[in-house]
């Protein structure tokens, strides 16, 4: 807005300066009213201008616009005829010039004579007066522009401060000497300091470890900041502000390492969200198992998933996370068996910079740190090296970790879901797994049913995978032939759902007809002829005992339950295990 009223104090000063220089009264109008004046005109400040007066008609456009006006006989001239003050005007003579801003008339300034002496002064200096008034008008116009620029700067500054304060990372604005000029609310709250205390301080007094030299600019530096004996890890990125090759200052962007990595992992986790509804299965036992998983998901207890390879242990781990109150936080998975022993500790717990040869200069945060407030999935937990198990136990029990080379504990809030396809209790008895860690993990144990025990789910899943891969490979495959259905229902599926999925993918690639036939199954199915399958009693007996033990567990308690289920004595189960050499076990 370019109203003269916004700078009325400045306008009044101009009026008084002109009055002192000319010994004439001065009045200044905007489109609405008289906003400044001297002498009698000052008493009229604030009053609206006359709608039928010369100023309103000839300057603001009611009649033909004029930018300079000389009124020699106010109240008597023809131009004054429509004015209600005609014949009673107390001015003897007047000179007016418009005040323009951006090619628009925003006001008028005039000098007026109230007596003969002032009238003569104007009469003998008409054009000089007009030129002087025009210059004052230009000065006022420049002040309007200056005021507008200042207001725009204030608006821009407020807008920038609002933007900076709503950025979900720290922002520090520095001058040439690295003094803090501005700092946003995010960082003030993060480091728990007072803004007035920080403004004007040198940044190296706040972050002593921050490297300010040019070679470290535009790269991330990790800063450890201590708050009430608790370390927070910050990532700082210092950028120079250069305008026309002149360094004006710097801006330092600060991120909470934990928040940043967790957001990245949480976003990635969302893309791989798996709920129990996404896990396909209609078998009553499997549906009952999924309901048990749903109940467990709502709590915070540690879960141990036990299942054969390919049964979907990670799927259930993700489902537990997605059904829990931690679903908006990271789900971090690590396969303990896929990482060399020498690297597993650093992957889990992280390390300080310089902790060992080849360590990153910034150090590294481990999976526990990344999973804070979320879920950490430890797959193939049975492969965890013995020397590392006490440290894992301490992390789970005390909810804190120490990075390699570190001396301070880092608090964590993580739910543990572990998984294995091994018999952990047997490993405990054989001194291959720590008993205390086993009991810490074995809070809620869930046995995932193998595919061969899920009845028609084999065909249900096969149909799902057929639709998936037929669409992917742009083929028209309607289903399985009856012969293949019979084969699938009798097959043991040692690789479980993963083996079924791979089988369907292979068959879709090879099949040219609308239904998958035996000829287009992988090689392991070629020998199977369902109608001719005859097993010996020993094979049937061995298979029944093994299935019962797989279901109820190979532990002492599991063997008792298996005996009850099979309708034989516990001693018989032990004898058969020994006689049939099941699982290579010794009793």
pLDDT per position as a tens digit, 394-403 = 999 999 999 8
Give the model's pLDDT for residue 527: 60
Nearest 5°: phi and psi at 283?
-60, 135
Q: What is the mean pLDDT of residues 133-157?
A: 88
Are 450 and 491 in contact by the 8 Å Cβ rule? The answer is no
Give the model's pLDDT for residue 531: 43
**pLDDT band, residue 60 (cuts 50/70/90):** confident
Give the model's pLDDT for residue 328: 86
**Which residues have CB under 8 Å from 290's CB, separation 6+?**
276, 279, 281
Least confident range from 407-421, 466-480, 516-530: namely 516-530
Q: How far apart (Å, rounded) are the C-alpha atoms in residues 14 and 97?
A: 14
Residue 137 tokens, joined: 């008008």
**pLDDT band, residue 498 (cuts 50/70/90):** very high
Give the model's pLDDT for residue 152: 86
Give the model's pLDDT for residue 584: 44
CATH topology of domain 4-149: Beta-Lactamase (3.30.450)
**pLDDT band, residue 582 (cuts 50/70/90):** low
Q: How far apart (Å, rounded) are the C-alpha atoms in residues 533 and 62?
A: 109
The number of residues making up the chain comes to 587
Residue 122 tokens, joined: 């104007």
Are domains 170-256 and 453-530 of this chain identical in fold? no
Across the strands, what pairs with 300? none
| Whole-number percent of the chain with pLDDT over 70 | 92
Q: Which of 62-66, 307-311, 581-585 has the highest mean pLDDT?
A: 307-311
Q: What is the mean pLDDT of residues 509-535?
A: 76
Is CATH 1.10.1740.10 the classification given to domain 170-256? no
User: Is it the case that residue 63 has pLDDT exceeding 80?
Assistant: no
Give the model's pLDDT for residue 269: 54
Is CATH 3.30.70.260 the classification given to domain 272-447? no
| Whole-number percent of the chain with pLDDT over 90 | 31
Q: How far apart (Å, rounded) are the C-alpha atoms in residues 89 and 122?
A: 17
Give the three-state DSSP class for 574. helix
Give the model's pLDDT for residue 358: 61
User: Is it the case that residue 390 has pLDDT exceeding 50?
Assistant: yes
**pLDDT band, residue 359 (cuts 50/70/90):** low
Q: How far apart (Å, rounded) are the C-alpha atoms in residues 379 and 376?
A: 10
CATH class of 453-530: mainly alpha
Residue 88 tokens, joined: 């009673």
Give the model's pLDDT for residue 586: 41
Domain edges within the chain: 4-149, 170-256, 272-447, 453-530, 537-584
Do β-strands 331-335 and 375-379 pair in parallel, antiparallel, or remain unpaired?
A: parallel
Give the model's pLDDT for residue 528: 54
Q: What is the mean pLDDT of residues 568-586?
A: 69
User: Is it the case that residue 587 has pLDDT exceeding 50?
Assistant: no
Q: What is the mean pLDDT of residues 335-343?
A: 89
Q: What is the mean pLDDT of residues 443-447?
A: 94
- CA atoms in the 13 A half-sphere facing the CB of 324: 27
Are 40 and 71 in contact by the 8 Å Cβ rule? The answer is no
Q: What is the mean pLDDT of residues 527-541?
A: 62
Are 119 and 74 in contact by the 8 Å Cβ rule? The answer is no
Give the model's pLDDT for residue 305: 96
Q: Residues of 505-524 as b/e, b for ≥16 C-beta within 10 angstroms? A: bbbbeebeeebbebebbeee
Residue 250 tokens, joined: 């710097």
Inter-axis angle of helices 537-552 and 570-580, to 10 degrees?
120
Q: How far apart (Å, rounded) are the C-alpha atoms in residues 520 and 462?
A: 15
Tell me, rounded to whole angstroms, the distance of Cα 85 from its chain centroid.
70
Closest CA to 406 of 342, 358, 346, 357: 346
User: Is it the case that residue 323 has pLDDT exceeding 70?
Assistant: yes
Compute the mean pLDDT over every residue in the chain, rounded to the nearest whole number: 84
Give the model's pLDDT for residue 96: 87
pLDDT per position as a tens digit, 542-553 = 778 887 887 777
């Amino acid at each position: 807005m370019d109203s003269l009223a916004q700078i009325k104090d400045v306008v009044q000063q101009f009026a008084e300066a002109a009055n002192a220089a000319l010994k004439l009264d001065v009045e200044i109008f905007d489109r609405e009213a008289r906003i400044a004046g001297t002498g009698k005109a000052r008493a009229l400040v604030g009053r609206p201008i006359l709608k039928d007066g010369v100023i309103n008609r000839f300057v603001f456009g009611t009649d033909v616009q004029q930018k300079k006006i000389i009124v020699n006989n106010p109240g008597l001239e023809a131009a004054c005829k429509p004015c209600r003050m005609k014949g009673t005007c107390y001015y003897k003579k007047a000179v007016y010039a418009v005040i323009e801003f951006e090619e628009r008339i925003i006001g008028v300034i005039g000098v007026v004579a109230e007596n003969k002496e002032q009238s003569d002064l104007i009469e003998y200096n008409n054009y000089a007066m007009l030129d002087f008034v025009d210059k004052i008008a230009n000065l006022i116009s420049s002040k309007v522009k200056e005021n507008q620029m200042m207001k725009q700067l204030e608006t821009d500054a407020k807008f920038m401060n609002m933007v900076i304060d709503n950025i979900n990372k720290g922002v520090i604005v520095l001058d040439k000497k690295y003094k803090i000029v501005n700092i946003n609310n995010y960082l003030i709250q993060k480091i728990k300091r007072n803004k007035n205390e920080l403004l004007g301080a040198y940044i190296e007094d706040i972050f002593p470890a921050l490297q300010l030299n040019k070679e470290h600019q535009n790269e991330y530096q990790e800063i450890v900041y201590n708050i009430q004996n608790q370390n927070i890890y910050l990532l700082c990125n210092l950028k120079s502000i250069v305008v026309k090759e002149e360094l004006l200052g710097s801006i330092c962007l600060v991120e909470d390492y934990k928040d940043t990595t967790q957001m990245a992992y949480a976003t990635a986790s969302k893309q791989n969200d798996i709920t129990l509804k996404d896990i396909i299965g209609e078998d009553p036992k499997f549906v009952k198992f999924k309901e048990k998983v749903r109940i467990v998901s709502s709590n915070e207890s540690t879960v141990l998933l036990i299942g054969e390879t390919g049964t979907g242990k990670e799927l259930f781990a993700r489902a537990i996370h997605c059904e829990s109150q931690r679903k908006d936080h990271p789900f971090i998975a690590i396969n303990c068996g896929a990482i060399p022993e020498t690297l597993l500790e650093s992957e889990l717990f992280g390390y300080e910079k310089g902790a060992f040869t080849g360590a990153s200069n910034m150090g590294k945060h481990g999976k526990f740190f990344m999973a804070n407030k979320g879920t950490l999935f430890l797959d193939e937990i049975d492969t965890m090296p013995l020397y590392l198990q006490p440290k894992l136990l301490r992390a789970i029990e005390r909810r804190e970790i120490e990075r390699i080379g570190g001396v301070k504990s880092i608090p964590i809030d993580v739910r543990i879901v572990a998984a294995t396809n091994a018999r952990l209790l047997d490993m405990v008895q054989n001194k291959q797994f720590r008993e205390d860690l086993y009991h810490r993990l074995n809070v809620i144990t869930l046995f995932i049913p193998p595919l061969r025990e899920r009845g028609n789910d084999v065909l249900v899943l096969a149909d799902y995978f057929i639709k998936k891969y037929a669409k992917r490979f742009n083929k028209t495959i309607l289903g399985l032939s009856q012969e293949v259905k019979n084969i699938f229902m009798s097959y043991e599926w040692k690789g479980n759902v993963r083996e079924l999925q791979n089988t369907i993918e292979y068959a879709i690639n090879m099949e040219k007809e609308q239904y998958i036939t035996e000829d287009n199954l992988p090689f392991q199915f070629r020998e199977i002829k369902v109608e001719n399958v005859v097993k010996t009693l020993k094979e049937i007996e061995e298979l029944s005992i093994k299935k019962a033990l797989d279901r109820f567990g190979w532990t002492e308690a599991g063997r008792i339950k298996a005996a009850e289920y099979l309708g034989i004595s516990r001693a018989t189960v032990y004898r058969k295990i020994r006689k049939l050499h099941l699982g290579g076990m010794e009793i």
